[in-house]
Chain A
Amino acid sequence: MNDLIDSDNVLFVAAFVIQFLAIAFLAIKNQRAAFFSSNIVLLVGLTLGLISTLSSAFFSSAGISSNNMFENWIRLDGLSTYFLFIIQLVAIPTTIYNFSYLRHYIEQKRPIKSFIIFYIMLLISTQILVMANQAIFFLVCWEVMSMSAYLAMILEKEKEEVQSGSFYYLVASHFLIFILYIMFFLLHQQTGSWFLSDYHLSFSAGVVVPIIFVLSFIGFGIKAGFMPFHFWLPQAHPIAPTVLSAFLSGVIIKMGIYGILRTFLFIKPVPEWCGWLLLVVSIISAVFGVWYALAQHDIKRLLAYHSVENIGIIGIGIGIGFIGSANNLPAVEVLGFGGALLHTLNHAIFKSLLFVGSGVVYQNLGTRNIELMGGLVHRAKYIAILFLIGSVAISGVPPFNGFISEFIIYTGFFKTANELKDYYPILMLMFVVGLAFVGGLAVACFTKVNSIMFLGSERKEVKHFHTSAYDYISLGIFALLCIVIGFYPQPFVRIVNKVITDGFVAGNFSPALVNIDWFYFTMIFSSIALGIFILYLAKIKVEKKYGRKISAAWGCGYDNITPRMQYTASSFADELNTIPKSVLVYHKEVKVSKNAFPLTSGFESHSKDFVDNKIVLPLIDFLKSLVAKIEFLSQTDIRYYIAFILIIITIYSLIAFLWV
């Protein structure tokens, strides 16, 4: 307990106390006052938390100290501190956006206090989760996190889509916590300890460790949204309040990544099949995640599928790290895990940016369907530019942060191919091409999103586009982070490098990550920015000299052009979506009327989730039919139920008795 007197820790604990205090402010009668005061207090708490995280020994000095507190229940090592940093960094701008987003609810006199309570609970439990060092405590935090997210999600619970979407989330969360129970039970049974820092197992120990690995991959993988387990993401994200979607997609699903990395620390070094398992699952998630996204018209569902893609990219990095770990190659390990960790931070930033941006548009247009948007750049120029920055970043295109982490992962592939000859080069090249393909799909998808939402002319008339200062502050912070990490990645790379030094790499440490010529990136990206600026000024000068005018677009002589004649999102993506038609469950319908005067005609395309429609729903139907067979047991009389309970208890007792 001596640690608590430390000045660092005082600030640290104070930050959490203040965040808790934010709940108390909701006792104020006036909803508006209550919301504003509690949100401000929450922001102060989060900022203090971020300051204390940044000023902790981990970020400031060269050394690494694992900070243990509260009789070892709380432990801050490299990985925990890094994730704590991500949570607080993303939570602050998201909470600022709260001011703008919840204003509409307050104006409509809708009760939002419960939402705020659960939102605060979610933030606090997530922060504590990454520091929890006691298995049961970890699971409790996990459950509080999952449930408060669920309860915050059902803000508009009277809507049917909210009920069904949040139910997906509830079921997925409950299913995965069972798997985590089993996993931690096995860990406890193997080591006899409840403390996460005591778990050190080796794969040579027997069959239990591979089971633990697979359980952690499934359990945490459901949370992260790897491909076969992703089905809850596109259901839950669109219906959640935007603030929550941003936090859910930016941070909560990363807890799955945290879990997988944490498990790796228990059981390292892993054998090679773990790496291959992760690589194959991840590349499938990445390719089909983005392909599904391309087929969506609902902006939030589209972004949810992009989370699947980015989790795939993170998983690819972890997979390379595992392969490096299996073959005892520190350089490969550093590049793999480094790329994964940096992409975790990057994705948290740009995905939250895009969600907040989509929220601003949704508030004004009242629809999430991008086919009804268009021309918003003329209404809100800066929102469009900020959204564009996020889009360029998420597509992995330079000069923003998405490119930096993808570059590290590419370098990891080439390094693996160099270090391990044999058949590795071919396999690695396949993954390189796979990642390039994902990049191309992401470009196609985000050019679609940006052009349909913001460019051209308005498909649905917008009377008034309202934006508030909070929107710009929130989006601005995210965009600034995208730019800073893109143009000057060195400090962030150093942080990531430090995290990996703290327990990831077994043998000699390799400086592969810091040795990448980051200096060139700063130079090249700055010269691109400078070059564009100078050439643009020169171009304006030339235009002044030879003239410039505004005129209608070329319409082949037809001048009665309406906004509906613009290229739509469906038609933009149609050619690409037709290729994996059966996987995307892609339907298109061309309506042509056969009359002499064709009045109604149109084109529609829809895509359904393969896993959801072909696996999950049939499975549920099957279970329902099974349950229907024992329906006769369902009686109205409570005495029957008591009898059933007694019978079950007797059976359990008998089993327990015989076991002993």
Chain B
Amino acid sequence: MGLDILQGIISIIIILGLAPLFAGLVNKQKAILTGRIGAPILQPFYELQRLFKKETINAVTSSILSRISPVLNLVTLIIAAAILPVGFWKPLISFNGDIILFAYILSLARFFQILAAMDIGSSFEGMGAAREATFALFAEPIFFFTIGSISIISGFTSLYDIYHSIRLDNISYEVFIVICSISVFMLAVTECSRMPVDDPNTHLELTMIHEVMILDNSGIDLFLYQYSSYVKLFIYAVLEISFFYPFSKQSYLLGILIFVTGCVALTFALGMVETITSRYKMKNIPQYLLFATAIGILNLLIYTFTN
């Protein structure tokens, strides 16, 4: 019991500590793939440090909401991280039905981020908030279709148990899991405002979703938002890497090795996707998301009927 709690706490620290590093790795990969040298891998840490020391500016029209929202964002993500199993360790919070809590905790963060954006009373933020609300609506079903279908097949409703139930003994189940991991990847791209859906690098307001929502934030507020977005990216990365759980069961060393390789491979995949695709038109994004949902539905149907 004591060991479980210790492991749970260590997993949270791993997620919180490594999240900016992961983001730095993605940017480095992308830079190399596009033929640039790129910023150092530790760049996100430097940027966070810089933001921390900057003056905070609040808009005249803003209220207490936009001051609380950055804090709430980070706290909810920490709770989400506490539900997530890192490797084969039992997470701090694990009970029957925690996948529902996981999805809804993230939705709480979104609720307040949209409100904080609208709090500024500027059309830029409004546009971003409306887009966030629209696309989140189509992203949520992807989570429930992929993780939910594994849950329904295995009979567990806790993230830890779900990932534990993944076995590699049946070829149709293997295919099923692989396709699920593709859906999760598409979800991660959406939720973390990465390339085909959102471009984290442009600063043209009309094209952005997440960036434009935090346009008027600075100093410690921006620090919290940026850090939260790194944590969120890493949470989805861990969600993806955990599919390799069956391989890492043998020993600690192998587990760590697979975790690290998985991270690097994922940064490579994200960098690759961002290099070879361009951002979709706004009106095509729901189609992209529905495509990911359709994969989930077809996958479950095919698996059910082949068994």
Contact = CB atoms under 8 A, between A and B. Distances in A.
A432 B56 contact: no
Interface in B99-146: 100-101, 103-105, 107-108, 110-111, 114-115, 118-127, 129-131, 133-134, 136-138, 140-141, 143-145
B104 A566 contact: no
A548 B124 contact: no
B168 interface: no
Given A456-B119, A553-B61, A566-B121, A543 B137 contact: no
A439 interface: yes
Given A426-B304, A571-B126, A436 B140 contact: yes
B1 interface: no
Q: What band does the interface of chain A fall in when counting residues whose beta carbon is under 8 Å from B?
A: 35 or more
A443 B113 CA distance: 11
Interface in B59-108: 59-65, 67-68, 70-72, 74-76, 78-79, 93, 95-98, 100-101, 103-105, 107-108
B74 A447 contact: no
Contact of B108 (A377, A398, A433): A398
Interface in A616-656: none
Interface in A548-564: 548-556, 561, 563
A493 to B, nearest CB: 14
A340 B276 CA distance: 49
Given A456-B118, A572-B130, A554 B215 contact: yes
B220 A542 contact: yes
Interface stretch (B17-25, B151-159, B188-196): B151-159
Given A549-B55, A567-B127, A572-B129, A447 B97 contact: no
B65 to A, nearest CB: 7
B293 to A, nearest CB: 8
Given A429-B144, A429-B145, A553-B59, A411 B97 contact: yes
Greatest chain B CB density within 10 A among A429, A448, A571 is at A429
Given A531-B78, A543-B220, A440 B144 contact: no
B249 interface: no
A565 interface: yes
A414 B147 CA distance: 12
B301 interface: yes
A535 B54 CA distance: 18
A571 B134 CA distance: 12
Interface string B146-177: 00110111010100000000000000000000
Interface string A98-118: 000000000000000000000
B53 interface: yes
A398 B80 CA distance: 12
Nearest to B151: A414
Contact of A381 (B64, B71, B93, B216): B64
A28 to B, nearest CB: 44
B262 interface: no
A439 B133 CA distance: 11
A528 B55 contact: no
A527 B68 CA distance: 16
Contacts of B216: 553-554
A414 B157 contact: yes
B178 interface: no
Interface string A558-600: 0001010111000111111001000000000000000000000
A380 to B, nearest CB: 11
Given A414-B157, A524-B101, A536-B71, A547 B134 contact: no
Question: From DSSP, what is the main secondary structure of chain B's interface residues?
Answer: helix
A6 interface: no
Contacts of A417: 152
B268 interface: no
Contacts of A447: 111, 114-115, 118, 129, 133
B134 A520 contact: no
A220 B183 CA distance: 42
A215 interface: no
A611 interface: no
B110 A443 contact: yes
B137 A516 contact: no
Nearest to B95: A517
A546 B56 contact: yes
B219 interface: yes
Interface string A153-170: 000000000000000000
A527 B80 CA distance: 12
A614 interface: no
Contacts of A551: 57-60
A532 interface: yes
Contacts of B220: 539, 542-543, 546
B61 A457 contact: yes
Contacts of A452: 118
B235 interface: no
Contact of A517 (B72, B96, B119, B205): B96
Contacts of B130: 567, 571-575
Interface in A437-457: 437, 439-441, 443-444, 446-448, 450-452, 455-457
Interface string A67-88: 0000000000000000000000
A508 to B, nearest CB: 20
Contact of B107 (A410, A418, A443, A553): A443
Interface string B277-307: 0000000001000000100000011001000
A395 interface: yes
Interface in A526-544: 527-528, 531-532, 535-536, 539, 542-543
A392 interface: yes
B115 A451 contact: yes
A433 B58 contact: no
Contacts of B111: 392, 395, 397, 443, 446-447
Contacts of B129: 447, 451, 567, 572
Interface of B: 52-65, 67-68, 70-72, 74-76, 78-79, 93, 95-98, 100-101, 103-105, 107-108, 110-111, 114-115, 118-127, 129-131, 133-134, 136-138, 140-141, 143-145, 148-149, 151-153, 155, 157, 205, 215-216, 219-221, 224, 286, 293, 300-301, 304
Given A444-B136, A539-B220, A539-B224, 12 more contacts: A378-B63, A426-B304, A429-B152, A455-B121, A524-B79, A531-B78, A546-B56, A549-B56, A550-B60, A554-B216, A573-B130, A576-B134
5 contacts: A429-B152, A539-B220, A546-B54, A551-B60, A575-B134
